[in-house]
Amino acid sequence: YTLNLERVVVGTLLGLGKITPEQAAACQTGDADAKFMVSAQGITTGTKARPQLAGNKPLSEVDPTMAALVQDEKARQMRCIELIASENFTSRAVMECLGSALTNKYSEGQPGARYYGGNEVIDKVENLCKERALKAFSLNEKEWGVNVQPYSGSPANFAVYTALLPPHARVMGLDLPS
């Protein structure tokens, strides 16, 4: 089930007498000036500021050691030419997607038929990826379907191999010593 957290909070605070019915009504209508926030200091109204919890702070403030290591790796990647395809330098746009709120959502199943609720945006993202995959290969969606959900590198590689190679073609791989 997906709940509107704002409505739950507003209803709870109204029931506890912490906000007035007018404040509750303003919150429900989206009046930004009437919004309130709950923090360790209590309830404040009329503010648009976000609480400074660890989840809202940059990595450099939360964990400077890890932030420095991330910067060291970024500098190494910028100095070197990587000849391993799977370790090529990722574009900023891709990193923004991979580091976005999209990673916070579990989305088992297919668009429109997920196991959990609240996947409306994820469904749009997945459908957009499917449309773009079909377009990239000039394929008609009435004749072809695509699955953009591989869960690791091996199935992703296998999907590419089977899509590009004829049946019974040989696939060679390198043995990686353990």
Write the pLDDT tens digit of every residue in 67-91.
Answer: 999 999 989 988 888 888 778 778 8
Q: Give the confidence band of 147 by pLDDT, cuts at 50, 70, 90.
A: confident
Angle at 105 between CA 160 and CA 49, to 5 degrees: 135
Specify the pLDDT at position 131: 96
* Cα 83 to Cα 48: distance, rounded to the nearest angstrom: 48
Which of 34, 26, 28, 38 shows the shortest CA–CA distance to 6?
28
Could you tell me how far CA 150 lies from the centroid of its own chain? 16
Specify the pLDDT at position 39: 46
* 95 and 109 part of one domain: no
* 95 and 113 part of one domain: no
* 69 and 41 part of one domain: no
Cβ burial 15-47 (10 Å sphere, 16+ → b, else e): eeeebeeebbebbeeeeeebbbbeeeeeeeeee
Residue 16 lies in a domain: yes
- Whether 36 and 27 have beta carbons less than 8 Å apart is answered as yes
Q: What mean pLDDT comes out for the span 27-41? A: 51
Specify the pLDDT at position 12: 80
Cβ contacts of 129 within 8 Å, gap of 6 or more: 148
Q: Give the confidence band of 93 by pLDDT, cuts at 50, 70, 90.
A: very high
* 40 and 25 part of one domain: yes
* 111 and 158 part of one domain: yes
Q: 3-state class of 56 per DSSP?
A: helix
Specify the pLDDT at position 75: 92
Number of domains in the chain: 3
* 79 and 113 part of one domain: no
* 111 and 73 part of one domain: no
Residue 135 lies in a domain: yes
Tell me the backbone φ, ψ of residue 48, rounded to 5 degrees. -110, 0
Average the pLDDT over each of 89-93, 126-130, 148-152 and give the range with the smallest value: 148-152
Question: Percent of the chain beyond pLDDT 90?
Answer: 25
Tell me the backbone φ, ψ of residue 68, rounded to 5 degrees. -65, -40
Q: Which domain holds residue 151?
A: 105-162
- Whether 134 and 146 have beta carbons less than 8 Å apart is answered as yes
Residue 148: is its pLDDT beyond 60?
yes
